[in-house]
A = this chain, B = another copy of it.
Amino acid sequence: MPTLVAPYVDEMIQMRRRLHRYPEIAWTEFVTTSIIVERVRELGFKTVLGKKLFNEEFVLGRDPEVVKDAQDRARAHGVSEEILKELEGYTGCLAVWETGRPGPVTALRFDIDCIPVQENRTDANEAHRDGYESTRDGLMHACGHDGHASMGMTVAHWVHDHADQLCGTIKIIFQPAEEGTKGACGIAHSNNLDDVDYLIGGHVNIADKVHDVSIVRKGFLATTKMNASFTGLAAHAGGSPELGRNALMAACSAAMQIMGIARHGQGATSVNVGVIHAGEGRNVVPAHAGMEIEVRGSNAEINAYMQDRAEAMVRGSAMSYGVDYRLDVVGKAEDVVSDEELVQAIVEAAKAVDTVEDIHIVESCGGSEDHSLLMHAVQKHGGKAVFFGYGGNDTVAHSALFQIQDTESLPIGLEIFVRLLIKLNTNA
């Protein structure tokens, strides 16, 4: 048991399991957010909520209809009208602790949303065995953000308890909608990071083994997530196909083209058309098609190249089939480049955690994280930022079988955050 945080581990684990039972997907985390807001206010934090947390222009992948339903559900679940009003339809919370003493502004970022996956309901799953599995069909904390949110609240508790030793300002960001890289963009373009000197984000199960720590020096890919929809004209496919405009074919053509985008010679790229739903019936010229696209690149420029080409192909295919199209960016991340000062600070902190066994530096990865957008925002004005992982096992994130070993992995992450605060925000 990591020594510094031992008194806080149990509350973190209990909270994580409570959140695990009630997962909420991107932009609908009203119950989760209300728990967080209540808790951090109770501890004495100020909160930044609703439209003050985001630059609305840059909010991605948020469907007002879905949000409205989620508000109703939260209301039915006991969330107060008062807090719903404060949230203004936007989930997430920035909790701010001002020590009143000079010192840096350090931001810690925790994401809070779940995945649309049906949890494995057999005894192979600890959450099932121990009775804390998801109570919501088709939804599951299958990427560990329940652990992150809980860890953020626990750090808050530690800050409250050690307030008189701290200096500067501590900002704890509870970010919604990380899945699909939707949520960070609006925060990154708000003014909430303008004064941040240090930004630290972490993720469970990115390290190889349960007692390992992995610090991401670089390698997470920039990415853009896009939804394309095509709208044509229905017609009887047997009798008068010429009256139709075929949205399904526009989608198929775009998919064929997009998967064949000429790759960039200067770095890694990837592209996927993950989903197509098209057509109304076997004997009808299909009038509607939707597709989910993502591109990635090892930096913003390469990613932008991929995005440009994909957009041209959606546009061109729509023109070929004489259909209308709509293309929405619904998620976005940059590449991750951590500042060496913080990379080393985490190495040092991790070495000090008695349960840590191995420490790795990661330099390449096919994945993406929208923490990168917050990092770039901080780095742009001269702040430092970092991303690290802790804990790990063989279960696959985003799958029904995903599990974290919360009692072992989460305390490591917690103590690293605490040790960084001690390093950065005490005058010791």
Contacts and interface: CB of A to CB of B under 8 A. Distances in A.
In the assembly, how many copies of this chain are there? 4
Interface stretch (A118-126, A168-176, A285-293, A371-379): A285-293
A366 B236 contact: yes
A347 interface: no
A279 interface: yes
Contacts of A255: 248-249, 252
Nearest to A272: B237
Contacts of A167: none
Contact of A275 (B243, B269, B286, B319): B286
Interface stretch (A17-25, A153-161, A305-313, A415-423): A305-313
A248 B221 contact: no
Interface string A252-263: 111111111011
A133 interface: no
A272 B285 contact: yes
B276 A272 contact: no
A241 interface: yes
Contact of A263 (B253, B263, B309): B263
Nearest to A273: B248
A140 interface: no
Interface string A180-224: 100000000000000000000000000000000000000001010
B286 A294 contact: no
Interface of A: 180, 221, 223, 225, 236-244, 246, 248-249, 251-260, 262-266, 269-286, 289, 292-294, 296, 305, 309, 312-313, 315-322, 365-368, 398
Residue of A221, A258, A265, A284 contacting most chain B CB atoms (<10 Å): A265
A265 B281 contact: no
Residue of A249, A255, A312, A318 contacting most chain B CB atoms (<10 Å): A255
Contacts of A254: 320
Residue of A236, A262, A280 contacting most chain B CB atoms (<10 Å): A262
A13 B65 CA distance: 43
A292 B279 contact: yes
Contacts of A284: 272, 274
Contacts of A248: 255, 273-276
A366 B238 contact: yes
A282 B293 contact: yes
A272 B263 contact: no
A273 B285 CA distance: 8
9 contacts: A238-B366, A241-B262, A249-B257, A258-B260, A263-B263, A273-B286, A274-B283, A275-B286, A313-B320
Residue of A274, A277, A318 contacting most chain B CB atoms (<10 Å): A274
B274 A277 contact: no
A315 B305 contact: no
A244 B257 contact: no
B276 A278 contact: yes
Residue of A241, A249, A271, A282 contacting most chain B CB atoms (<10 Å): A282
B275 A278 contact: yes
Instruction: Rank and list the top 7 A-B pairs by shortest CB-CB distance, nearest first.
Output: A316-B320, A239-B366, A259-B260, A237-B272, A316-B319, A275-B279, A252-B252
Given A241-B264, A246-B262, A279 B270 contact: no
A236 to B, nearest CB: 7
A294 B282 contact: yes
B296 A238 contact: yes
Contacts of A272: 237-238, 241, 282-285
Nearest to A276: B278
Nearest to A293: B282
Contacts of A240: 265-266, 366
Nearest to A242: B264
